[in-house]
């Protein structure tokens, strides 16, 4: 079993070096997590980050960034490894932190040079990616680091299966940005404006947010689940925000064209609306305008859903999630409080859960209460306790 949370925090003003390929201006859940990892640790410690080009302009206040080329991958690995070595020898950090399994070997080598602890935050796919060279060289590094932080119980189980000692595994769920004040009652004025701008009227609105990969299961959703919902609610709309992935370590894309084609074959093409990438403001309005967040994650070999951050982001806006109970999504949805979990692959159960929420919404106060447990501030404190063990 993974370790219980160590009791001691990282001593104040302890130097930390973060090495990551996932950082803004790149977009995605891992990129947001690493930004907040730097931001939260940077409030109390000198924080130095090695990240891809463009990251310095996006750095949190007080955090220094060294940039390296993003592509090709081999060039990133070589450049980031060299910069990490130089920074470790120069600054003598107490902890060298890998933002994912990809940079774990770089963090481990840099830590050995500085007499520091090496820690890696893992997300799921960075443990299971089916690449022979990665598995031969990268997984041994994950087994050697002093601590591994997993984003969910499911990812912790994958880490143990990969040969990482259970006593070195700690679980810290990703965080979420909470609103500065109590959330406004839904639907908000911005939700009304969003519906008007996209011609949605009063139609029941399902929302899908995230990269369009095979694991996300959107093509299967429009084929197997949406027709069942539309049969009961003919005016239902599915709004899709996101696009096919770029610069991912591994992932099979489902293009908007392929999903729309599948919807046409299933007779529900008129119910599906693609928005692609949108601003943070428009995304927030979409969360507020929708009635259900649809999260039809598939359990695929070597391609796990490590956590399911969008379910927490939806909960911040009072929006319940219906999801298949696969991977780390089980940690991201509180069944009966922030949404519904249904057996993986059970399309009928998924459709029934959506229809039930459309007919009888969950209590928004309970949804918000669940989301508050994932505040980024709490995330930072939990990470610090892991980093503080042994310092």
Residue 255 shares a structural domain with residue 334: yes
Average pLDDT estimate for 45-60: 96
| Residue 180 counted as domain residue | no
> What span, in angstroms and rounded, lies between the C-alpha atoms of 99 and 90?
21
345 lies in a domain? yes
Number of domains in the chain: 2
Kindly state whether residues 71 and 162 are assigned to the same domain: yes
Mark whether 123 and 165 lie in a shared domain. Answer: yes
The H or E element that residue 142 is part of is: helix 132-144
CA distance linking residue 144 with residue 108, whole number of Å = 8
Instruction: Please give the C-alpha separations between residue 321 and each of 98, 209, 324, in angstroms, as whole numbers.
Output: 31, 11, 10
Is residue 349 classed exposed, middle or buried when 0-12, 13-18 and 19+ CB atoms within 10 A define those classes?
Answer: middle
Q: pLDDT for 266-304, tens place per residue? A: 999 999 999 988 988 999 999 999 999 999 999 887 778
Domain check: are 311 and 215 in the same one?
yes
Residue-wise pLDDT tens digits, 76-92: 999 999 999 999 999 99
Q: Span 185-212, mean pLDDT? A: 90
Choose among 134, 121, 145: nearest CA to 34: 121
Q: Give the CA radius of gyration of the chain.
A: 21
Q: Is residue 2 one of the residues assigned to a domain?
A: no
Alpha-carbon distance of 302 to 184, in angstroms, equals 41
347 shares its domain with 232: yes
| pLDDT per position as a tens digit, 309-343 | 999 999 999 999 999 999 899 999 999 999 999 99
Whether residues 162 and 202 fall in one domain: no
Residue 163 belongs to a domain: yes
163 and 201 inside one domain: no
Per-residue pLDDT, 2: 64
101 vs 304: CA distance, rounded Å: 14
Report the percentage of the chain scoring pLDDT > 90. 78
Mean residue pLDDT of the chain comes to 91
- pLDDT at position 211: 82
Q: Are residues 301 and 367 in the same domain?
A: yes
Q: What DSSP string runs through 69-103?
A: --SSHHHHHHHHHHHHHHHHHHH--SEEEESSGGG
CA gap 41, 36 in Å, rounded: 8
pLDDT of residue 390: 58
Residue 3 lies in a domain: no
Predicted local confidence at residue 127, as pLDDT = 92
Residue 267: CB atoms within 10 A of its CB come to: 12
Q: Note down the domain range covering 74.
A: 16-175+375-388
In a domain, 70, yes or no: yes
320 in the same domain as 229: yes
> The domain that contains 267 carries what CATH number?
3.40.50.2000
Within this chain, do residues 240 and 142 fall inside the same structural domain, yes or no? no
pLDDT tens-digit readout, 109-141: 999 999 999 999 999 989 988 888 888 989 999
CA angle 372, 210, 30 (to 5 degrees): 65
pLDDT of amino acid 3: 62
- Residue at 10 is within a domain: no
Give yes or no for a contact between 252 and 213, defined as CB atoms under 8 angstroms apart: yes
DSSP for 167-195 reads GGEEE----BPPPSSPPPPSSPHHHHHHH
For residues 254 and 361, state if they share a domain: yes
Same domain for 307 and 277?
yes
183 within domain boundaries: no
User: Does residue 246 register a pLDDT over 80?
Assistant: no
């Amino acid at each position: 079993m993974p370790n219980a949370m160590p009791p001691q925090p990282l001593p104040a003003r302890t130097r930390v070096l973060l090495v990551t390929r996932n950082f803004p201006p790149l977009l995605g859940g891992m990129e947001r997590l690493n930004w907040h990892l730097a931001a939260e640790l940077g409030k109390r410690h000198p924080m130095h980050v090695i990240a891809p080009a463009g990251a310095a302009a996006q750095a949190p206040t007080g955090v220094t960034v060294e940039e390296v080329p993003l592509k090709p991958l081999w060039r990133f690995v070589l450049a980031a490894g060299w910069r990490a070595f130089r920074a470790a020898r120069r600054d003598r950090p107490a902890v060298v932190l890998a933002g994912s399994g990809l940079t774990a070997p770089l963090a481990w080598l840099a830590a050995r040079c500085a007499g520091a602890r090496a820690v890696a935050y893992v997300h799921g796919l960075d443990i299971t990616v089916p690449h022979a060279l990665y598995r031969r060289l990268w997984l041994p590094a994950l087994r050697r680091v002093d601590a591994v932080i997993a984003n969910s119980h499911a990812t912790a189980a994958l880490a143990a299966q990969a040969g990482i000692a259970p006593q070195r595994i700690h679980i810290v769920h990703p965080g979420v940005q909470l609103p500065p004040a109590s959330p406004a009652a839904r639907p908000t004025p911005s939700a009304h404006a969003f519906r008007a701008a996209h011609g949605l009227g009063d139609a029941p609105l399902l929302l899908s947010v995230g990269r369009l990969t095979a694991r996300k299961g959107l093509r299967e959703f429009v084929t197997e689940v949406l027709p069942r919902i539309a049969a009961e609610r003919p005016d239902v709309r599915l709004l899709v925000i996101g696009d096919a992935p770029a610069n991912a370590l591994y992932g099979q894309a489902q293009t908007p064209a392929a999903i729309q084609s599948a919807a046409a074959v299933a007779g529900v093409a008129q119910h599906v609306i693609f928005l692609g990438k949108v601003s943070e403001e428009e995304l927030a309005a979409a969360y507020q305008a929708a009635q259900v967040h649809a999260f039809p994650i598939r359990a695929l070999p070597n391609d796990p859903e490590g956590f399911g951050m969008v379910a927490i982001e939806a909960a911040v806006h009072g929006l319940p999630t219906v999801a298949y109970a696969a991977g780390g999504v089980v940690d991201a949805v509180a069944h009966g409080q922030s949404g519904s979990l249904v057996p993986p692959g059970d399309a009928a159960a998924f459709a029934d859960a959506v229809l039930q929420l459309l007919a009888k919404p969950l209590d928004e106060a309970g949804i918000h209460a669940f989301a508050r447990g994932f505040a980024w501030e709490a995330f930072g404190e939990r990470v610090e306790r892991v980093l503080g063990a042994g310092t």
